[in-house]
Structure formats: C-alpha cells, structure tokens
Amino acid sequence: MNERQQILPLLRSHLRHSQQPEITGHCDAGTLAAFAERTLDRTERDRVADHLSQCQNCRDTLALAAEAVPSSPTEMQFHVKGIYAIAALASLCIAAVIFQHAKTLPAAPQQQQQPVASNNPPPVLSFNGPPAFSPRLTGAQVIEPILTVPTPLWRINSSRSPATLEISYTSGRTWAPIRTPDFQPKSVAAEGANVWVADAKGTVLESTDLGLHWRRLPHTVQHRLSAR
Amino acid sequence: MQNGADSIPETLALVNACLNGDETAWNTFIARYRPVLYSAALAIAKDGCLARELADSLWADLYGTRTDGNGRRISKLATYTGRGSLEGWLRTLLAQEFIDRHRKQRRLLPLDDNAPPLIDDPDRFTEVADPRLNLAFQKALAELKGEDRLILAAHYLDARNLAEIGRMLGLHESTISRRVSKSTRSLRKRTIHHLRKSGIGTKEAAELIAADAGQIAINLRDHLLPLKDAL
C-alpha cells in the first residue's frame, strides 16, 4: 500500500456509510449557477465551495444542473480530439497517396544528386525524378529515403523584397533563387518538372523545365486551375 | 452567456420587463428560454413525461399563477438576481425541484421489512483509535482549499466520477484527477506535520497512519462539518 493509498481507506470506509448532513441555509439557485459558471469572486467562491463540501443537497443540485448543460467542457474536448483524429487520418491518406505515386516513378540518374548552385538553374534536362511539392507539403521529405534523386522543394521567400521563388535540392538546407521576370510570385505548386507560380492578382506562370523558361497561362486555364 | 445572445444586464432588463407585465418581453422570454427549459428538464429527468411535468411546473412558477395585493403576478423570476446566467439559473431551479420531488417521493415509499439495515457494519464506524491522529487529520482536511474539499467530498462521499465533478466545477476531468491526487497527498503530508507538532516523530507518525489505514475509518462527515471551528 503506497502513501496515497494509506489515506484513501481512511476516507472511503466512512464515505460508504455516511449520512447526509442536515445543514440549513442552502445556496440559492443563482449562487449555484454563478458557481458553476465560475463568475463568483474568489472570496465568495471559497465560501460556496466550503458549503458545498459539507452539503450533499447542494452538491446534488450542482451536479444535476451540470448534467443539463448542452455542451460541457468534456464534450468540447471530445470534439477537439475528433478534429485532430480526422486531421491525422487525412494526413495519413495524403502520405499514402504520395507514397504510392512516388513508387510508380522511374529511377533518376545519379548526377541529379548534386546540389544546385545558388545562381544557376537546376539541371532540368536530365531531371526525371519524383514530383516536387511546395514546402508546405512536408510529406515530400517523408518519402525522400525511397527515391533515387533528391526531391526538389519550392518556396516563396517573402523575406526578400520583392519576394522570390526559390528551389532546393538539399531537402531545404540550401535554397537557390529562380528568376521570374517582371513577376512577384505569391504561391507555388509543382509536379515533377512542371512548376506553377501565381501572383497576388491571380496571374499564373507555368514552367515545364524546373523554372528555366516561363510562360503566362491564358485566363481560361487559370480559371480552370483555380476551380480545382 | 450560454446561448451567446444576452449579457447579464440585458437579461435582467428582460426579466424586469416580464415582471412589470410587459407582454412583448414575456413573449421574448418564452421564445428564448422555453426550449432551454424543456431540454434541460429532459436532461435532468431523463424521462419525457417527468421532464414535461417538471418544466411545466417551473414555467407556471415563472409566469406566476397568484397575484399580490396590487394585482401583480407573483413570479419566481423575481428571485433572479443576475448572479449567473438565466439559463444556468433555470437549470439549477429544475435540478432543485427534481431533487425535492425525488426526496419527497422516497419518503412516501413503503418500508421494506427485508431491506438491509442502513448501517450494515457498525464496527466500521469506529472512530480513529488514536485521538492524536484524528485531530491531525481533521486539521489537515481543514487546511485544504474549499474547492479541494468539495472535490474530495464529491469523489469519495458521493462516488461521482472525475468527469461529473469536472462538469460541476467547469474544469476538465484531468484537472480534477490531478487535484484529487494532490489533495490526498497533501492530506497525508499535513497529517504527519500535525502529528509531529504534537510530539510524534516522523517515522512514528507515518507508521500510525499506515497502521490505521486498513482498519480504522475516519468519520469524514464529522471532519467536513466543523471545518471553520477547527481553523
């Protein structure tokens, strides 16, 4: 029997048989409601708690009224947990899709493992690797060990002015800027060697060679993309 | 506010208007709080018929079925002071009414001759053998915060689970669990402290508690009642 358990029998043995104390001057409904809602000041809260610890009638009332509260903190906690569970499940599904997609891609030549120098575009002609993802999709790093080439990552570096598009072949350790003439990129998406960047106005540029050459997408295509 | 609609002053204004016989205010009150009242009654009574009876009875009291000398209805709404939300107040009134009815009904039940005695083992009510331990434990209990004593009473006296106590106090059950553990640890520590103050050594005090743990019941009710006197 540990130290805490030594105290418990002392309490429990009587609790099973104790009778309700006859206390007069029960808490009124407003006080109990305010206590449950934690709106009493500290002094009064202590006084009411003191009474409640001695009065089974008021404890029963408080407990029963608490059961009728539509959304208790515990239930709210359950909802929050449920949201996390759904998010975790969605993440697993996304990871599974990425994993499956990556397995279907052919192996890339070994020379692709060289990091890209900061001002040089990546060796796009020999690129035959897996899909690239924006830095927000960190799942790309999860699948990296099964790939034969480093997965290029893309990001918009907003710390520069103007914001620049950057690529990394080193899992985000080093980044190289990619030129997008007369264009201020706001977001980026990529799949394999295909890269799309959009600006704040919704204009979309497309590159099929990892950012070496760009072309502006017609509005109809942009509309279709934005409708995805 | 529970329904996110009214502040306490707005609710009080509505209640005062209802008490002054403003029919528009009363209609507003009905629209807002009648569903609350009935759903709360159902949650408390857990029986459709009883819930409706309970809610109707309270609703009649709120409206006021009697009048005073000036012809004004005597409404239970007059006792709402705005200390808590109106929904909370209504739920508490329902709970009080339900408990009152339940206890009245229990008193009216015929006695069962074969029912076991209320106290099946009088020996279990033996007071703590050593009065020094009794006194030390009493002081230790009195030194706990009121809310911690409430949690212990709800858990060990009323056998409520942590989630139920959490709902009573507006706290998460993990918080209640921590506080139960902390309070019981503190009880033991403070009991030893008071035993030491009465001239008993630490080792002897611990042994005294351990020896009494399995065989002696402390009358918690008697300890909970005169807390203020003990301080």
Point out the residue among B149, B150, B185 whose CB comes nearest to the CB of A4.
B185
**Nearest beta carbon to residue A64 from set B44, B156, B221:** B44
- % of chain A exceeding 70 in pLDDT: 55
Interchain proximity B84–A50, CB inside 8 Å: no
Q: Answer yes or no: are the C-beta atoms of B83 and A31 closer than 8 Å.
A: yes
Are A33 and B84 a contacting pair at CB < 8 A? Answer: yes
Who wins on pLDDT, A181 or B128? A181
Q: What is the Cα–Cα distance from A212 to A195, expressed in whole angstroms?
A: 10
Contact list in A for residue B137 (CB cut-off 8 A) is: 10
**Average pLDDT for residues A133-148, to the nearest whole number?**
38
Chain A hits for B217, Cβ within 8 Å: 9-10, 13-14
The answer to whether B169 contacts A36, with C-beta atoms less than 8 Å apart, is: yes
Asked if A17's CB is within 8 angstroms of B146's CB, the reply is no
pLDDT attached to residue B6: 61
Instruction: Specify the pLDDT at position B83.
Output: 84
Please calculate the CA angle B94-B98-B100 and round it to the nearest 5 degrees.
Answer: 115
Q: Is A118 a residue whose pLDDT tops 80?
A: no
Q: What is the pLDDT of residues A43-67, one digit of tens each?
A: 889 999 988 888 888 889 999 999 8
| Rounded Cα gap, residues A20 and B168, in angstroms | 19
- Residue A136's nearest CA partner among A124, A150, A154, A148 is A154
In B, minimum Cα distance to A74 occurs at: B172
Record: contact B94-A65, CB cut-off 8 A: yes
What 8-state DSSP symbol labels residue A211?
T
Give chain B's mean pLDDT. 79
Triad B23, B28, B30: Cα angle to 5°: 95
Beta-carbon contacts below 8 Å between A and B = 215
Compute the half-sphere exposure of residue A5: CA atoms within 13 Å on the CB side of its CA: 3
Structure tokens at A82: 């449920």
User: How far is it, in rounded angstroms, from Cα B201 to Cα A8?
Assistant: 22
Better-predicted residue by pLDDT, B90 or B119: B90
- Summary mean pLDDT of chain A: 68
Contact assignment for A67 to B167 by CB distance below 8 Å: yes
Q: What pLDDT was estimated at residue B208?
A: 78
A144 or B98, which is more confident? B98
B52-101 pLDDT, tens digit each: 999 999 988 888 878 778 777 788 888 888 888 899 999 999 999 999 88
Closest chain B residue to A52 measured between Cα atoms? B150
Q: Is pLDDT above 60 for A211? A: yes
- Bridge partners (DSSP) listed for residue A190: A195
Nearest-Cα residue of chain A relative to residue B80 = A30
In the numeric block, the tokens 């997965």 are attached to A151
Under 8 Å between Cβ of B135 and B128: no
Q: What is the pLDDT of residue A1?
A: 58
Q: Which residue has the higher pLDDT, B113 or B132?
A: B132
Q: Give me the half-sphere count of Cα atoms (radius 13 Å) on the Cβ side of residue B37.
A: 23
Please count the other Cβ atoms lying within 10 Å of the Cβ belonging to residue A12: 16
Closest-CA residue to A184 (of A166, A168, A171, A197): A197
Closest-CA distance, B208 to chain A, in angstroms, reads 10
Instruction: Answer whether B2 sits within 8 Å of A70, measured CB to CB.
Output: yes
Nearest CA to CA, how far is B25 from chain A (Å)? 21
For the segment A165-180, what is each residue's pLDDT rounded down to a tens digit? 888 877 777 888 888 8
Whether the CB-CB separation of B163 and A75 falls below 8 Å is answered with no
Could you give the strand order of the β-sheet that contains A153-157, starting from the edge strand earlier in sequence?
A153-157, A164-168, A176-178
Residue tagged 């060679």 (tokens):
A209
**Which range scores top for mean pLDDT: A15-19, A110-114, B218-222?**
B218-222
The mean pLDDT of A129-148, rounded to a whole number, is 38
Q: A90-102 b/e with 16+ CB inside 10 Å = b? A: eeeeeeeebeeeb
Residue B169 C-alpha, separation from nearest chain A C-alpha, in angstroms: 6
Determine if the pTM surpasses 0.90.
Answer: no
Residues of chain B with Cβ-Cβ distance to A65 below 8 Å are 44, 88, 91-92, 94-95
pLDDT at B15 over 80: yes
pLDDT at B88: 92
CB-based burial of residue B77 (10 Å sphere; 0-12 exposed, 13-18 middle, 19+ buried)? buried
| pLDDT surpasses 70 at A120 | no
Task: Compute the distance between CA of residue B62 and CA of residue A12 in angstroms, rounded to an integer.
Answer: 42
Quick check: helix, strand or coil at residue B57? helix
CB contact under 8 A, B170 and A10: no
Q: How far is A91 from chain B (nearest CA, A)?
A: 28
Apex CA B86: angle with CA B81 and CA B88, to 5°?
Answer: 110
**Cross-chain residue pair A28–B79, CB shorter than 8 Å:** yes
User: In residues, how long is chain A?
Assistant: 228
Distance (Å, whole) CA B194 – CA A153? 67
Question: How far does the CA of residue A8 sit from the closest CA of chain B (Å)?
Answer: 8
Report which DSSP code applies to A133: B
Q: How far is A60 from chain B (nearest CA, A)?
A: 8
Higher-pLDDT residue of B101 and A20 is B101
CB contact under 8 A, B147 and A21: no
d(CA B206, CA B59): 57
Return the bridge partners of A156, or none: A165
Are A221 and A203 in contact, with CB atoms under 8 Å apart? no
CA distance A219 to chain B (A): 45
Q: Cβ B83–A34 below 8 Å, yes or no?
A: yes
Show the tokens assigned to A143: 């699948």
Lowest average pLDDT, out of A8-22, A27-41, A124-138, A149-163, goes to: A124-138
pLDDT of residue A65: 92
Q: Is pLDDT larger for residue B175 or for residue B129?
A: B175
Q: Report the interhelical angle of A73-104 vs B162-169 (nearest 10°).
A: 110
In this complex, the residue of B93, B163, B227 whose CB is nearest that of residue A50 is B227
Report the DSSP beta bridge partners of residue A176.
A167
Q: From the CA of A85, how many Å to the nearest CA of chain B? A: 20
Contact A10 B218 (CB under 8 A): yes
Pick B126 or B46 by higher pLDDT.
B46
- Record: contact B91-A65, CB cut-off 8 A: yes
